[in-house]
Amino acid sequence: MQLIILIDIGSTFTKVSAVDLETARFLGRFQAPTTPANVNEGLQVALTGLGDELAQAGATSGDIKRARKLACSSAAGGLQMVAIGLVTDLTAEAARQAALGAGARVLKTYAYELTDADRDEIAQLQPDIILLAGGTDGGNHTTIIHNAQVLATLDLNVPVVIAGNRSVAPEVAGYLKNSFNTYITANVMPEIGRLDVEPARQVIRQVFMDTIVQAKGLAKAEELIEGIFMPTPAAVLRAGTLLSKGAPGLAGWGDLLIVDVGGATTDVHSLGMGHPSRSGTVMRGLPEPFAKRTVEGDLGVRVSALPLVEAVGAEVIASHLGWDPEEVRGAAAKITANQDYLPQTSEDVEFDQALGYFAAKTAVGRHAGRLSEVYTPTGAVWIQEGKDLSQFRAVIATGGVFINSSAPAAMLEGAARDNSDPLALKPVDPVYYLDGDYLLAAAGLLAEDYGQAAFRLMEHSLKRVS
């Protein structure tokens, strides 16, 4: 047995999983409440609990002590960023995609020249990192310089990643050097219509490891582990990319979608280019990255249960359940007010199921591209904006609402296209899988150095549901 322990330090729970590298098999999992004042305390409880569980499989305390331990984290609010670009639909959107792909929660995206009000708002938001973009290489340079000058007046001690017009990047860094640690990387949009977000993602991840982990007090955990290598959402995206593309000697699954419904947010990850599947369709807008993540802060099944009901409509959910709208609002308010809520009655379970269904339905609907019909002198033309997910054949569900459900596939039907919105380019006829062992983030960590083992671990662990 070659043991490796993979750790996810979350805001609420610290989850530890054990994997045998030789067989790429999941051995056991344990979780304990995260202890914000000293994450080592909760981590030690989780590791002790895992050790007791693994003892039944023949592992010793020495095996666990010697095992390599890798970690990701979304504790202390995760990685929170502000993205700044030139034009809302171009460099500002490219900056936002880079931040989301790095596993960040984007607090706000700004476009054009920052105002005094914008500066004050950024100060109030207290981001962990600022991503400053703007202008193609050799293109507009006045806006990014102006924005650097505005940022220089902020009393914030946070890193700034500069990913804009390379012609003026050193000058931009010069305006900020007295107030911020700056990192220059490749332009997120070097040419109109071409994205290059991966270099910025890598720098953001490095900054996270070098500075943010320390700032959030997570470095204390390094007494017990090798290090915190990435935000948890980045680990999930890394796992999805590996599963889609495959590992040496192992064929990938192709285009796939990951739906992660949590208590506060719903994350959707799509792995695939999403080019038009309908003949004659014309693309509009920025090209989509292969690995795309979106985060919906109003779609959650615990803290955000009431915002979810407001976003979907109490009447819609009531019709789905056969309830009265006021019953729906009351049930959501009860959940939102109770951080430790667990469904008790059959009605609670039914409502939880409905929340999961509509969280998946709405989040995937926002993530997916859309078709529109435009009439030209030569006839009607279909226009596609965003990714076409219609041919994606695998949809993977993760998150407690799915894993603890007796009917996860019924909830996942919300992720597929239905007749109510035929122009939404959601998966048409996918196969559903469940991350029942909570292993996607763990597999993303494992993928950094053990790609084949991580791939085989997911193939062993992900279970088809119907």
Q: Which of the two residues, 66 and 85, has the higher pLDDT score?
A: 85
Torsion of CA 113, 118, 119, 125, to 10 degrees: -140
Say yes or no to pLDDT of 76 above 80.
no
The share of the chain scoring above pLDDT 70, in percent, equals 99
Query: Phi-psi bin for 231: left (phi > 0), alpha (psi -120 to 50), beta?
Result: beta
Residues 382-408, mean pLDDT to the nearest whole number:
95
Residue 389 has pLDDT above 90, yes or no: yes
Q: What global pTM score does this model have?
A: 0.90
DSSP 128: S
Cα gap 395→244, rounded to integer Å: 11
Residue 57 has pLDDT above 80, yes or no: no
Report CA-CA distances (Å) from 199 to 128, 155, 196, 387.
Answer: 19, 28, 7, 22
Q: Examine the pLDDT at 420 and tell me if it is beyond 80.
A: no
Q: Which residue has the tokens 């279909």?
A: 382
pLDDT attached to residue 209: 82
pLDDT for position 219: 73
Q: Within 10 Å of residue 192's Cβ, how many Cβ atoms?
A: 11
pLDDT tier at 113 (50, 70, 90 boundaries)? very high
CA distances 119 to 106, 110, 126, 322, Å, are 16, 10, 11, 48
Contact call for residues 308 and 420 (beta carbons, < 8 A) = no
Please give the mean pLDDT across all residues of the chain. Answer: 92
Domains and CATH numbers, the chain: 3-75+217-226 (3.30.420.40), 79-213 (3.40.50.2300), 238-297+365-465 (no CATH)
Chain segment 424-454, per-residue pLDDT in tens: 999 999 999 999 999 999 999 999 899 999 9
* CB neighbour list of residue 330: distance below 8 Å, 6 or more residues apart: none
User: Percent of the chain having pLDDT more than 90?
Assistant: 75
Cα three-residue angle 381-386-392, rounded to 5 degrees: 100
In single-letter form, the type of residue at position 377 comes to P
Q: Could you give the angle at which helices 198-207 and 91-101 cross, rounded to 10 degrees? A: 50
Give me the mean pLDDT over the 114-127 stretch. 97
What pLDDT sits at residue 379?
A: 84
pLDDT at 466: 83
Sheet of strand 282-284, all strands in order from the earlier edge strand to the far edge: 282-284, 379-385, 370-376
Flag whether pLDDT at 210 surpasses 90.
Answer: no
CA distance 362 to 384: 19
Task: Tell me: pLDDT of 196 over 80.
Answer: yes
| 394-398 and 431-434 strand pairing | parallel
Residue 153 neighbours by CB under 8 Å, 6+ apart: 119
Res. 224: pLDDT tops 80? no
b/e burial code for range 83-108 (CB count within 10 A of at least 16 → b)? bbbbbeebbbbbbbbbbbbbbbbbbe
The burial of 35, by beta-carbon neighbours within 10 Å (0-12 exposed, 13-18 middle, 19 or more buried), is given as middle
Report the C-alpha gap between 319 and 314 in whole angstroms.
9
Token pair recorded at residue 306:
């009431």
Instruction: Please give the structure tokens belonging to residue 35.
Output: 């202890």
Q: State the average pLDDT over residues 154-172.
A: 95
Q: Which residues contact 374 (CB under 8 A, 6 or more apart)?
A: 380, 381, 382, 383
pLDDT at residue 229, as a whole number:
82
Strands 431-434 and 160-162 come out as unpaired
> Collapsing DSSP states into helix, strand and coil, what is residue 133?
coil
The stretch 280-288 carries a mean pLDDT of 90
Quote the CA–CA distance of 291 and 97 in Å, as a whole number. 10
Q: Rounded to the nearest 10 degrees, what angle do helices 314-321 and 305-312 cross at?
A: 90
Question: How high is the pLDDT of residue 456?
Answer: 97
